[in-house]
Amino acid sequence: MSMKDRMSGNEAVAFAIRQINPDVMPAFPITPSTEIPQMVSTYIANGQMDTEFIPVESEHSSMSATIGAEAAGARSLTATSSCGLALMWEELLVAASDRMPCVMAVVNRTLSGPININCDHTDAMGARDTGWIQIYAENNQEAYDNFIQAYPIAEDKRVHLPVMICQDGFITSHAVENIILNEDPDVKDFVGQYEPEEFLLNPGNPVSIGPYAISPYVMEARKAQEEAMENSKEVIREVARRYREKFGRGFEFFEEYRTEDADYIMLIMGSAAGTAKQAVDDLREKGIKAGVLKLRVFRPFPASEIAQALSPAKAVAIMDRTESYNGHGGPLASEVRAGLYENGSSVKALCYTYGLGGRDFTVERVYEVFDELKDMIENNKEFRQHRYVGLRTNSPEVR
């Protein structure tokens, strides 16, 4: 059974949290994720869930408390954005290295400077190498669906890693959309009860969590984390398939939109994928074989799967909503191009940066990107590899 409703992305995630009813939620407010702990605390005050809500003095403290609660055997989570995620930096690595299967709702917002509160992926991309699984949503429905799948992924014995569920700040977090909600008993059945094998508050089996590791052990610990991240690929697939079978929605690592015969593909994450899909529909009507590959899972990075999906195309535009300052593209561009090379793909790629600090990414801009891909292939035109979309400049080299 399902229910139709209208919700913002923050409301949808808070509703999923209520349905899961985790044990502990420490949180500190920061725009644009503030509504999530606010709504959860309201659910608790109204007696609709019995999660222990802990107001803390900073985001560093909220992640510290989340780790402590998880280590004690409680299913735990928090929520944050932007500078809040940056303030957690130390604790993000602790959560992953201690193999804590906690979950965090990240509402993506740019990091300073210059000071800005709008959407891009600077915050989560900055944390891409901390050992967390990262899953991104295009819309409110996916933010809801992704969150329900987070704990079954994190808590699987083959994984035991923390999970970030990401959505675009203000674009999905505050915009109200039609949404299909699952029934409470169905969600509880899907997520199940958390039964940790080892935890601090178990006097019959004392354990040490997060001890100092001398040199002979650090590399082995990191390798174990890396193997767990690789293991999570199959677990993500399994959980996604089980979710589709039960609720009829969702996909695994990415969504392929009109890519089966596409000459030109845009690879993109988050809410801008919807804009790209509209542009692709328009271009198809004009006889241009365009498609979109919307990446859902950034960590673990599905390199071989992406290479396979892009292999029939003539050219791909790789779209980053952040800047790496490496001169040739953002994190997504680096990962995708390395994956294409490693898998022997000959598809040509152009790397783009778009939407920083909330800059509009319009259908017209998507047209321009596809025009450049087409120009590169059909007219053998050369373009600068790292290009900005929608930049306010008169230079013909960038838009």
Q: Give the count of beta carbons closer than 10 Å to the beta carbon of residue 46.
A: 9
Task: Please tell me the predicted confidence (pLDDT) of residue 394.
Answer: 55
Query: Does residue 288 share a domain with residue 189?
Result: no
pLDDT over threshold 50, residue 398: no
Q: Quick check: is 396 in a domain?
A: no
Query: Does residue 303 share a domain with residue 174?
Result: no
Query: Does residue 179 share a domain with residue 222?
Result: yes
Q: Please compute, for residue 166, the number of CA atoms within 13 A of its CA located in the half-sphere on the CB side.
A: 30
Q: How far apart are alpha carbons 43 and 25 in whole angstroms?
A: 12
Cβ distance 354 to 272 under 8 Å? Answer: yes
Query: Does residue 296 share a domain with residue 226?
Result: no
Q: How many domains does the chain have?
A: 2
Work out the average pLDDT over 280-292.
98
Query: Does residue 312 share a domain with residue 278?
Result: yes
How would you class 324 by CB atoms within 10 Å of its CB: exposed for 0-12, middle for 13-18, buried for 19 or more?
Answer: middle
Q: Encode pLDDT of 114-159 as tens digits.
A: 999 999 999 999 999 999 999 999 999 999 999 999 999 999 999 9
- Kindly give the interhelix angle for 184-191 and 215-247, rounded to the nearest 10 degrees: 140
pLDDT over threshold 70, residue 109: yes
Q: Quick check: is 21 in a domain?
A: yes
Q: Range of 211's domain?
A: 2-247
Domain boundary among 215, 247, 279: 247
Query: Does residue 182 share a domain with residue 320?
Result: no
pLDDT over threshold 60, residue 399: no
Query: Does residue 323 share a domain with residue 242?
Result: no
Query: Does residue 334 share a domain with residue 225?
Result: no
Query: Does residue 265 share a domain with residue 205?
Result: no
Domain boundary among 222, 247, 272: 247
Q: Encode pLDDT of 38-70 as tens digits.
A: 999 999 999 999 999 999 999 999 999 999 999
pLDDT over threshold 70, residue 397: no
Maximal CA-CA distance, the chain: 72
Query: Does residue 264 share a domain with residue 243?
Result: no
Domain boundary among 213, 247, 281: 247
Q: Quick check: is 80 in a domain?
A: yes
Query: Does residue 218 share a domain with residue 294?
Result: no
User: How far is residue 364 from each of residues 168, 179, 330, 374, measured CA to CA in Å?
Assistant: 21, 27, 22, 15
